């Protein structure tokens, strides 16, 4: 008799797991509380503007290709990935800029302009991050626990991947100026953690930025969950939308799920809902005092005309980045002078807006809602919005406020209400040393047989390619169970 697997959540990790398990011959059903797939990787459509609401970078394209090849498919038949050029542009508070190009020689010219000798140091830095990436990549398809630390094979890895150094300290070994150190560690913010707290092995993300480059799926980021939905359904996966699972329990060796008045069982359950939520709300367990990532304040704008002087991806750095990071991660207060990110996908993909118009996606990192210390009040929202608009206006030579045709906003509380993200922590559990690798929640439940986890808060971590890797870990575990 064919065994049944139930997936809780139709986010990227859940859909990828569903496709793999169905390809492996299981009867798979997905239950999703929302009316559509994608989880945080979602979409708002309004008056011809299509706003991607979650991830905006495509890194590690080989991880995306792997899920399709696992299922005997070609990624090109599902996604049209384009490599960006420039990859992104950084705006410093003093008016200087740094563009990162597809051609690293052009990037090195930019670096040399900001710091003499930086082009040679860039080559050395990339060699070191490439070495770290070559060690880390195979581990991204494995679930490792504290018990595995007893294996001598892992002992030498600690030094090799610079586990006890910070992301920042690694960059500072190669670059003298804080400007360049920030330029090569800002990726930590896209994991919701300070570069001073993130372990140096996360520099593998910088490697992928500069060597594998940054991509964009034509039609927008929402094409990724749509492609995985198609892939899953190709192998017979049944997806139930507007169906929230309310509890998980084990009885007589089987796992039972509750949905409204209905109670049903499965041979395997894969939870793609956020790990802390599953533990506290679905399993009714107490959880450790985890560290959580920061949250974000998001503004989505449909603009009446095209904007100038911006790239597809843009980073505006605070005049005092150290203070900015301290306010978010240590003081847990709303930043006074925020760093922020501007996504202008219509620079590459005009199909996302009406002709001659632009989409502007603004992301401002703010504290999470744990202990309510960083909650955004109305005056905070207005102040942040005004500050961000003023900086964009100075770069683009426009009055952004006057150009708005459509506007949507998304707050830390919305991550909790819409996506069941604990404390509105946009990126899930923080990626500090004690919550990475061996110490991050494993993909297999420690108490209930055949209950598994995929997603940003479990191993191997956050970010679309790594979440897709978590689905491979779980598929392999189930296949060999």
Q: Of 25-39, 155-169, 344-358, 466-480, which gets the smallest average pLDDT?
A: 155-169
Percent of the chain with pLDDT over 90: 94
- More reliable by pLDDT, 1 or 326: 326
Residue 165 lies in a domain: no
Q: What pLDDT does residue 1 have?
A: 83
134 CB-near residues (< 8 Å, 6+ apart)? none
CA 273 to chain centre: 15
Please report which confidence band the pLDDT of residue 97 belongs to, taking 50, 70 and 90 as the band edges.
very high
pLDDT at 394 > cutoff 80: yes
> What mean pLDDT is reported for the chain?
96
CA distance 211 to 159: 24
Residue 375 lies in a domain: no
Residue 96 lies in a domain: no
CA distance 150 to 208: 31
Rounded-to-10 torsion of CA 321, 322, 323, 324:
40
56 Ramachandran zone, left/alpha/beta (phi>0; psi -120 to 50): alpha
Q: What pLDDT does residue 151 have?
A: 84
Residue 224 lies in a domain: yes
Domain of 465?
Answer: 4-44+56-77+219-290+431-479
Backbone dihedral angles phi then psi of residue 12, each to the nearest 5 degrees:
-60, -45
Q: Of 143-147, 241-245, 444-448, which gets the smallest average pLDDT?
A: 143-147
Q: Of 144-158, 259-273, 279-293, which gets the smallest average pLDDT?
A: 144-158
pLDDT at 155 > cutoff 80: no
Rounded-to-10 torsion of CA 284, 289, 293, 296:
60
Residue 316 lies in a domain: no
pLDDT at 331 > cutoff 80: yes
CATH number of the domain to which 71 belongs = 3.50.50.60
Produce one character per residue of 128-166: b if its CB has 16 or more CB atoms within 10 Å, e if not.
bbeebbeebeebbeebbbeeeeeeeeeeebeeebbeebb
Q: What pLDDT does residue 54 have?
A: 92
Output helix, strand, coil percentages for the chain, rounded to the nearest 5.
40, 20, 40
pLDDT at 372 > cutoff 90: no
SS (H, E, C) 49-88: EEEECCCCCECCHHHHHHHHHHCCCCHHHCCCEEECCCCE
What total number of domains does the chain contain?
1
Beta-bridge partner residues of 364? 297
Please report which confidence band the pLDDT of residue 373 belongs to, taking 50, 70 and 90 as the band edges.
confident
Q: What pLDDT does residue 148 have?
A: 84
The tokens describing 82, both together, are 């384009």
pLDDT at 326 > cutoff 80: yes
Q: What pLDDT does residue 159 have?
A: 85
Q: What is the mean pLDDT of residues 201-210?
A: 95
- More reliable by pLDDT, 219 or 481: 219
Q: What confidence tens digit (pLDDT) does each residue in 50-70 have?
A: 999 999 999 999 999 999 999
43, 51 Cβ separation under 8 angstroms: yes
Please report which confidence band the pLDDT of residue 153 belongs to, taking 50, 70 and 90 as the band edges.
confident
- What residue spans of 115-268 are helical by DSSP H? 118-139, 152-160, 167-172, 178-183, 204-207, 223-234
How many residues in the chain? 481
Residue 95 lies in a domain: no
pLDDT at 132 > cutoff 90: yes
Strands 404-410 and 81-83: unpaired
57, 341 Cβ separation under 8 angstroms: no
| CA distances in angstroms from 212 to 63, 87, 95, 204, 387, listed in the order given | 11, 11, 29, 11, 34
| CA distances in angstroms from 78 to 10, 62, 203, 360, listed in the order given | 18, 14, 30, 26
pLDDT at 270 > cutoff 90: yes
Q: What value, to the nearest 5°, has the Cα angle with vertex 139 and ends 135 and 143?
A: 160
pLDDT at 214 > cutoff 80: yes
402 CB-near residues (< 8 Å, 6+ apart)? none
Please report which confidence band the pLDDT of residue 477 belongs to, taking 50, 70 and 90 as the band edges.
very high
Produce one character per residue of 214-250: b if its CB has 16 or more CB atoms within 10 Å, e if not.
bbbbebbbbbbbbbbbebbbebebebeeebbbeebeb
Residue 340 lies in a domain: no
Residue 24 lies in a domain: yes
187 CB-near residues (< 8 Å, 6+ apart)? 202, 205, 206, 209
pLDDT at 344 > cutoff 80: yes
């Amino acid at each position: 008799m064919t065994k049944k697997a139930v997936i809780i959540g139709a986010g990227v990790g859940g859909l990828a797991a569903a496709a793999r398990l169905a390809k492996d011959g299981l009867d798979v059903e997905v239950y999703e509380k929302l009316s559509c797939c994608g989880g945080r990787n979602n979409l708002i459509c309004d008056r011809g503007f299509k706003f991607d609401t979650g991830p905006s970078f495509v890194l590690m394209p080989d991880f995306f290709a792997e899920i399709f090849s696992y299922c005997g498919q070609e990624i090109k038949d599902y996604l049209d990935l384009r490599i960006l050029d420039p990859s992104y542009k950084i705006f410093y508070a003093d008016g200087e800029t740094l563009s990162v190009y597809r051609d690293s020689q052009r990037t090195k010219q930019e670096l040399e302009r900001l710091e003499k000798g930086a082009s040679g140091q860039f080559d050395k830095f990339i060699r070191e991050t490439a070495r770290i990436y070559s060690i880390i990549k195979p581990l991204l398809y494995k679930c490792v626990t504290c018990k595995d630390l007893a294996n001598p094979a892992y002992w030498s890895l600690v030094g090799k991947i610079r586990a006890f150094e910070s992301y920042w300290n690694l960059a500072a070994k190669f670059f003298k100026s804080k400007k360049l150190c920030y330029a090569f560690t800002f990726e930590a913010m896209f994991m919701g953690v300070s570069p001073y707290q993130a372990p140096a092995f996360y520099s593998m993300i910088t490697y992928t930025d500069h060597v594998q480059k940054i991509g964009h799926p034509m039609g927008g980021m929402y094409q990724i969950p749509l492609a995985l939905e198609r892939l899953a359904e190709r192998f017979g996966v049944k997806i139930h939308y507007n169906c929230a699972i309310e509890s998980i329990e084990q009885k007589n060796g089987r796992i039972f799920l509750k949905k409204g008045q209905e109670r049903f069982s499965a041979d395997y359950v894969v939870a793609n809902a956020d790990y802390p939520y599953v533990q506290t709300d679905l399993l009714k367990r107490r959880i450790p005092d985890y560290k959580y990532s920061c949250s974000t304040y998001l503004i989505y704008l449909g603009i009446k005309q095209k904007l100038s002087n911006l790239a597809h991806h843009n980073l505006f750095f605070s005049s005092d980045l150290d203070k900015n990071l301290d306010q978010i991660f240590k003081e847990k207060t709303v930043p006074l002078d925020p760093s922020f990110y501007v996504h202008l996908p219509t620079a590459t993909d005009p199909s996302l807006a009406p002709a001659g118009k632009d989409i502007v996606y603004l992301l401002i990192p703010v504290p999470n809602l744990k202990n309510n210390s960083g909650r955004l009040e109305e005056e905070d929202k207005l102040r942040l919005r005004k500050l961000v608009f003023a900086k964009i206006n100075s770069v683009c030579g426009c009055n952004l406020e006057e150009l708005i045709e459509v506007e949507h906003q998304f707050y830390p509380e919305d991550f909790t209400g819409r996506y069941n993200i604990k404390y509105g922590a946009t990126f899930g559990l923080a990626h500090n040393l004690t919550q990475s690798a061996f110490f991050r929640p494993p993909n297999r439940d420690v108490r209930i047989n055949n209950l598994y986890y995929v997603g940003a808060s479990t191993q191997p971590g956050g970010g679309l390619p790594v979440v897709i890797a978590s689905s491979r870990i779980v598929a392999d575990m189930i296949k060999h169970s």
